[in-house]
Amino acid sequence: MNAKTFRNTAFHLHRWLGLVGGTLLCIAGLTGAVLVFWHEIDDWVLTQRFGQVIPGGERVAMVFDRPEVIATVADTVKSAYASKGLTLSSISLPNQANHLYQVWLHAPADHHWQVFVNPFTGLIMGDREWESSWVGMIYELHYNLLAGDTGTLIMGIVALLTLLLSITGIVLWPGWRKLIAGFKIKWKNAHIKRTNFDIHKVAGITTAIFLVFIGFTGFAWNVPQAKVTEAIHAATFTPKPADSVSQPIAGQQPLPFAELIQRADAAVPAATTTYVSFPEKLEDPFRMGKRQAQEANKWGNTQVSLDQFTGKVIQVQDGLKPTRAEAILNQFGPLHFGTFWGISSRILYVFVGLAPTVLMVTGVVMWWHRRRVKKAQPAVKVAVKAKQ
């Protein structure tokens, strides 16, 4: 395939993928732009609802991750909501003094509830159904179009379209022929078609690499059938670890939460607990997320898995000493959510989220102008022949 044929193929692929998937790409981008700062927005929303958390009571010494404190919060919520058919799923620990424990519960209809607990008094302040909350609706729209598993697959395909559109857009970028022209937008004395094209090319090239990352990671998460994780383990010659499972013991109940938390703490003693994931089935392990001091990710990439019946440590994923595959997979979150440069990259990702809408509008305008030109050409040819 020569260069001209390759470019023409890329052009037609870029055009039709954009026209077919443009609306869904805009939904993904706009919702993603909002979700970049959803934690900060939600903190404000919760403050309006519950008021400012004021340090006081017995826990003023910032001991939010002590085993007995976490276990008490878990047992309190579990007891309060057991009659509603909700099962304990996980706890996200506060990372600031004025933040709440967020306890996640799972409903039989595959819905999720958040229960908010004051970290100083241990009192339940309120709850909300995740899917009905402002952030839950935006997240579900972003992740699965509010359409369950089918929507998840569709948005996985949309993520793949994002990847392909970004790559073909990079190929078509006119800056390969003249660098300055690739970043120039002509505003003065320019036809609207020219300005529109310039906006498209500059918006595309300045966000393309980030859209590649977002598209690839979104596809990997939404379409497990693609086995991207397995491919990364194979490509890096890293054996994939076996699934962590508990071994139920007949006639024996799982160990108390406090004991499991203590055992997990002992496995990585110099780390801060960021979340606890509770087993929902007898075969599920008990998991704790940890952050070691040198880890950049504020939630940490260290994780401890234990057998819920014996308390035996099944697996430890060390965030400071990841395998080759783990080192790559640990970057999926920062690359998708834009946290790799802190606040700077998050602000950048707001504009990256807006880019698909800009690109779709300018792309449709270019397609419409081309269509008008093609329709006009036969009429011009007929008029020329008539004159002859």
Q: What is the pTM of this model?
A: 0.91
Number of domains composing the chain: 1
Secondary structure letter of residue 112 according to DSSP: E
Q: Could you tell me the two tokens for 247?
A: 């071994």
Please give the residue range of the domain that contains residue 10: 3-36+140-235+343-387
What residues contact residue 317 under an 8 Å CB cut-off, 6+ apart?
Answer: 301, 302, 303, 304, 326
- Helix 192-222 to helix 148-172 angle, to the nearest 10 degrees? 130
Residue with tokens 């390969």: 176
Query: CB of 34 within 8 A of CB of 138?
Result: yes
pLDDT-flagged residues of the chain (< 70): 1, 56-63, 375-388
Q: CA 200 to CA 173: how far, in whole Å? A: 10
Q: Which of 359, 357, 339 lies closest to 30 in space, CA to CA?
A: 357
In a domain, 347, yes or no: yes
In a domain, 13, yes or no: yes
Residue 97: its pLDDT value, please?
78
What residues contact residue 87 under an 8 Å CB cut-off, 6+ apart?
Answer: 105, 106, 280
Residue with tokens 């807006």: 354
Query: CB of 364 within 8 A of CB of 371?
Result: no
In a domain, 250, yes or no: no
Residue 369: its pLDDT value, please?
87
In a domain, 279, yes or no: no
CA distance to 163, 223, 385, per residue, from 380 (Å)? 40, 49, 9
In a domain, 106, yes or no: no
> Could you give the residue ranges of the DSSP H alpha helices within 36-147?
38-50, 67-81, 134-144
- What stretch of H or E contains 159? helix 148-172
Secondary structure letter of residue 82 according to DSSP: G
In a domain, 73, yes or no: no
Q: CA 117 to CA 114: how far, in whole Å? A: 10
Residue 60: its pLDDT value, please?
41
User: pLDDT digits over 200-255, tens only?
Assistant: 999 999 999 999 999 999 999 999 999 999 999 999 999 999 999 999 999 999 99
In a domain, 120, yes or no: no
Query: CB of 50 within 8 A of CB of 100?
Result: yes
Residue 256: its pLDDT value, please?
95
In a domain, 186, yes or no: yes
